[in-house]
Amino acid sequence: MSTRSLSTVVWIDVAAQALIEEETLKRSRVETGGALFGYTTDHDVVIACAYGPGPRARHRRTTFEPHPATTQSLIDAIWTESEARYRYVGSWHSHPGGIPRPSGTDVKTTEAVATEPHVGLAQPVVLIQSTRRHEDRVELADARAWRWSRHDVWLLPCELVAVELEERYCPLVEVPGGRLRGSEVLSPRVGG
Ligand SMILES: [Zn+2]
C-alpha cells in the first residue's frame, strides 16, 4: 500500500456519477467539468450533487476553465437552499483520451482554490473522468478522485465509491447566462 495515500474515501451518489459520465460523452472532443457539492465526515467526502459547466465556461482540447461567477452562484445557492447541509467540496473535469491523473495545471489550480480564504475549502476534491477512443467512437474510461493535502502540498489519490444516497438536494440554480439544473442549461428567468 502506498504511504502517500490520504486514506480518504470519496463516496459519490450514482446520479452525480451519471451526470459526469453523460456530460463527458456529450462534449467528447474537449474538456468539460463542473462543481461538486456534498459534505465531509472525519476522513471521507460524500458527493451528493454534481453540476455541469454552465453556459460561460471555456472548453478546449486539453483545458477546462470554469466560469468563476457561475461556481460562486452555485456555492451560495446550494449552501442556502440546503440549509447548510451541503457545501462546495471540489470540482470534476474530463480528460478526453487521457489518463485520470492531475496535470501540472490541475495541481496549480487546486492549490489556488485550497489557499483562497473566501472559498473556505482547505482540501478540495478533484474528480477526473477519462475517455478513450474505441474504433470510431468515444467511450468512458477510468474515473479517479484526488484530494488536496496541505501536508504534502499535492493532490493525493483517494478511493472512489459509488453509492445511492437516500436523499439529495440539488436545486435549480440561477447562474450568469441561464439557470442550471444539473448539467442542463435553461434560459434565464424572464422579468426576474
Ligand atoms: Zn486535468
> For residue range 106-151, what is the model confidence (pLDDT) as tens digits?
999 999 999 987 777 889 999 999 999 988 899 999 999 999 998 9
Q: Ligand 1: distance of its center to the CA of 99 in Å?
A: 9
> Which DSSP helix (H) or strand (E) runs through 32?
none
For residue 4, what pLDDT band results from cuts at 50, 70 and 90? low
pLDDT at 168: 86
Q: Ligand 1: distance of its center to the CA of 83 in Å?
A: 32
Q: Ligand 1: distance of its center to the CA of 171 in Å?
A: 27
Q: Who surrounds ion ligand 1 at CB < 5 A?
A: 103, 106
DSSP string, 58-119: EE-SS-EE--HHHHHHHHHHHHHHTTTS-EEEEEEEEETTS-SS--HHHHHHHHHHHT-TTT
Q: Give this prediction's pTM.
A: 0.93
Does residue 7 or residue 161 have the better pLDDT?
161
Q: What is the pLDDT of residues 113-125, one digit of tens each?
A: 999 877 778 899 9
Q: What is the pLDDT of residues 149-191, one digit of tens each?
A: 989 999 999 999 999 999 888 999 999 999 999 999 998 877 6
Residue type, 2: S
Whole-angstrom distance, CA of residue 174 vs CA of residue 113: 23
Q: Ligand 1: distance of its center to the CA of 66 in Å?
A: 12
Q: Ligand 1: distance of its center to the CA of 190 in Å?
A: 36
pLDDT at 116: 85
